[in-house]
Amino acid sequence: MAEKIRLEIIALANNDAQNNSFVLLLKEENGNRRLPVVIGAFEAQAIAVVVEKIHPGRPLTHDLLYNILTAMNAEITEVTITALENGVFHALVHCAFSDGRAIEVDARTSDAVAMAVRFNCPIYVEAAILEEAGIAFEDPSRPASTPTALPGSLTSYSVERLEQMLEDAIAQEAYERAVEIRDEIKKRKG
């Protein structure tokens, strides 16, 4: 069995290099390497709503899968990033059933992470993958430099207008935008 290293989510930001994509930045738990994973907007939204504690009016696809698994007395116990092929990360989702059975299911890394945040389970990467694709930072205590997800246009609105925009974004299920607006409000209110 390959050596695994535990990761944690430290950022989710717009990817300026590719339209409609985001960078999920993962950090090794006891080290100074970061693993950037490019993901789609839908998967970024699926991760952001859980991480940012946003409650959509209706279940998203990953919420539905979570609800089905828990109704079947199953849970995801961990996810592991296992391969990097042609610039695409591959992952395994480890699922345990109440009767003692366990299975591993192949998944896109973005979907695996979206499920991991719902089940509050660990995210791992095989050491060789982190060695190949990880980015080392000189000072492990220094936070990673990540692109900002806030467009400059939000700075021109009043807090009252931002609060209204936040409500509208949530009602329209535009959760990435809602997170950006909420963060701008928090920044101003201190």
pLDDT band at 151 (very low <50, low <70, confident <90, very high): very low
Closest by CA position to 75, among listed 33, 41, 121: 121
What does R_g of the chain's alpha carbons equal in angstroms? 18
CATH architecture of the domain covering 4-147: Roll (3.10)
For the whole model, what pTM was predicted? 0.72
pLDDT of residue 164: 81
Rounding to the nearest 10 degrees, give the CA dihedral for residues 158, 54, 17, 29.
120
pLDDT of residue 118: 96
Q: How far apart are the C-alpha atoms of 111 and 10, rounded to whole Å? A: 17
pLDDT band at 188 (very low <50, low <70, confident <90, very high): confident
Q: How far apart are the C-alpha atoms of 88 and 72, rounded to whole Å? A: 31
Domain borders along the chain are 4-147, 150-190
What is the arithmetic mean of pLDDT over 20-36?
A: 91
User: For 86-134, how does the pLDDT look when each residue is reduced to its tens digit (9 = 90+)?
Assistant: 889 999 999 999 999 999 999 999 999 999 999 999 999 999 999 999 9
